A = this chain, B = another copy of it.
Amino acid sequence: MSNQEEAPIYMATVSAPTNIACIKYWGKADKHWNTPTNDSVSVTLDQSDLRAVTTAAASSKFTQDRLWLNGIEDEGAPTNKRFRACVDGVLKLAKNPQKWKGCKIHVSSYNTFPTAAGLASSAAGYAALVAAMSALVDAQEEFPGQLSTLARQGSGSACRSLYGGFVAWRKGGEKEDWSDSLAQQVQDEHHWPELRALILVVSDAKKDTSSTAGMSTSVATSTLLQHRIDKVVPDRMIEIEKAFSEKDFEAFGKVTMRDSNQFHAVCMDTYPPIFYMNDISRMVVRIVHAYNAWAGEIRAAYTFDAGPNAVLYTLDQYVVEVGALMKHYFPETGAVSDYINNAEYIEQVQKFSLSPELLEATDKTGRVPASGDVKQFYYTKSGPGPLTLSMEESNLDPKTGLNTYQP
């Protein structure tokens, strides 16, 4: 065996996407395995704007496992249950397990989610951790989706970020070890290329209840959640997978909006109640319904996660209209180039002339255009699962294995 000085450092770097659920995950069936009380399904977002980038390295010359997040070392992480489940889980699937005996692991991860945006980055982060480790050790799944069962132990919704397109998380529970609680790609990112997403980052003073704490309280106190789990979600899963597969936006949008509303209804039925949406979120809902009613069809569908931000799904042919409508009611405070992430889209939105009849309809929501309520727009679409990046994009020094990323 080579001495420590000469021991090689193996490295792999990946990027991973976030995802936005259409049928929401809310409630844990098993806290240890981090499994859900119901199936869920989400759209994987394109990584060009919002992604986690993670480098994993292994070497026998490292003296301990280490993790850097956004350039800062997290000293507790290597003993953290979630981190260990992902790292140790992938190591067990290594093609050549002998190669990694005696190695320690270094990981550096950063994400391109502006902290101010309040967009959940844990799904992308844990998906990137599992994907980077998997690339590093050339992990071999024993069954399809096995890697997603590891990401799930990092953060539930992370399992869905291991695939592109439209991805279901099957709740599982038939198997003792919950190995059937895993992600499955329903359709890949090429299936419905016209699908678009517009994220409205909504300003909010109040710190939200964390998802983990919130869903635990909901399971314990909501008298509606179990009915949702047993009677509502199973039908909705069938309905939305069919709608997505048939590219039926009317059906897709309707069930997406209804399930977002039901998730927030369960939060409100929790004791004490949990409020994630605020008056701005609700105004976006009203405008979307007024817009769809004016159009005589569903052209935009909102969904809200555990916070006030709105994600609007729409189609390529309406995304400029939707953006122009939202920008009309929620105009920028400063430069528009700081407000919307895509220059070409900005240009189209600014050129677009909204129908006076549409504005007459949406004005009835009571909204008066005012800046400051929305902080940012992200224009994006569906995209692929984790991507392997080149050595140049690594966040660890190939010679020392130490973090090189500085925010």
A275 at the interface (CB under 8 A from B): yes
A71 at the interface (CB under 8 A from B): no
A96 at the interface (CB under 8 A from B): no
A228 at the interface (CB under 8 A from B): yes
A224-245: CB near B (< 8 Å → 1, else 0) gives 1001100110000000000000
CB of A258 within 8 A of CB of B279, answer no
Complex partner residue of A223 from B231, B254, B264, B272, CB under 8 angstroms: B231
**A residues 202-220 in Cβ contact with B at 8 Å:** 205-207
A94 at the interface (CB under 8 A from B): no
CB of B265 within 8 A of CB of A269, answer yes
CB of A289 within 8 A of CB of B268, answer no
Interface size on A, residues (CB 8 A): 33
Residue of B nearest to A275 (CB): B282
Complex partner residue of A224 from B206, B221, B224, CB under 8 angstroms: B224
Report Cα–Cα, A232/B225, bound state, in Å. Answer: 12
A349 at the interface (CB under 8 A from B): no
CB of B271 within 8 A of CB of A205, answer no
A187 at the interface (CB under 8 A from B): no
A278-306: CB near B (< 8 Å → 1, else 0) gives 11001001100100000000000000000
Contacts of A268 in B (CB 8 A): 261-262, 264-265, 268
A257 at the interface (CB under 8 A from B): yes
Residue of B nearest to A292 (CB): B272
Residue of B nearest to A282 (CB): B275
A407 at the interface (CB under 8 A from B): no
A172 at the interface (CB under 8 A from B): no
CB of A269 within 8 A of CB of B279, answer no
A266 at the interface (CB under 8 A from B): yes
A366 at the interface (CB under 8 A from B): yes
Report Cα–Cα, A314/B229, bound state, in Å. Answer: 35
Report Cα–Cα, A393/B258, bound state, in Å. Answer: 52
A273 at the interface (CB under 8 A from B): yes
Given A224-B224, A224-B228, A278-B279, A205:B366 Cβ within 8 A: yes
Contacts of A366 in B (CB 8 A): 205-207
CB of A261 within 8 A of CB of B271, answer yes
Complex partner residue of A265 from B265, B272, B278, B285, CB under 8 angstroms: B265
Contacts of A271 in B (CB 8 A): 254, 257-258, 261
A218 CB to nearest chain B CB (Å)? 11
Report Cα–Cα, A224/B278, bound state, in Å. Answer: 22
A94-110: CB near B (< 8 Å → 1, else 0) gives 00000000000000000
CB of B261 within 8 A of CB of A269, answer yes
Contacts of A205 in B (CB 8 A): 366
Contacts of A272 in B (CB 8 A): 285, 289
Which of A207, A221, A261 is most buried by chain B, counting CB atoms within 10 A of its CB?
A261
Contacts of A286 in B (CB 8 A): 275
Q: Which 6 A-B pairs have the closest CB atoms?
A: A265-B269, A265-B265, A227-B227, A265-B268, A272-B289, A206-B366
Not counting A261-B269, A272-B289, a sample of 17 additional A-B residue pairs whose C-beta atoms are within 8 angstroms of each other reads A221-B258, A223-B231, A223-B262, A224-B232, A224-B265, A227-B231, A257-B271, A258-B271, A261-B270, A262-B268, A264-B268, A265-B265, A268-B268, A273-B285, A275-B286, A278-B279, A278-B282
**Sampled A-B contacts (23; CB under 8 Å):** A205-B366, A206-B365, A206-B366, A207-B366, A221-B258, A223-B228, A223-B232, A223-B262, A224-B228, A224-B232, A224-B262, A224-B265, A254-B271, A257-B271, A258-B269, A261-B270, A261-B271, A265-B265, A265-B266, A265-B268, A268-B268, A275-B282, A279-B279
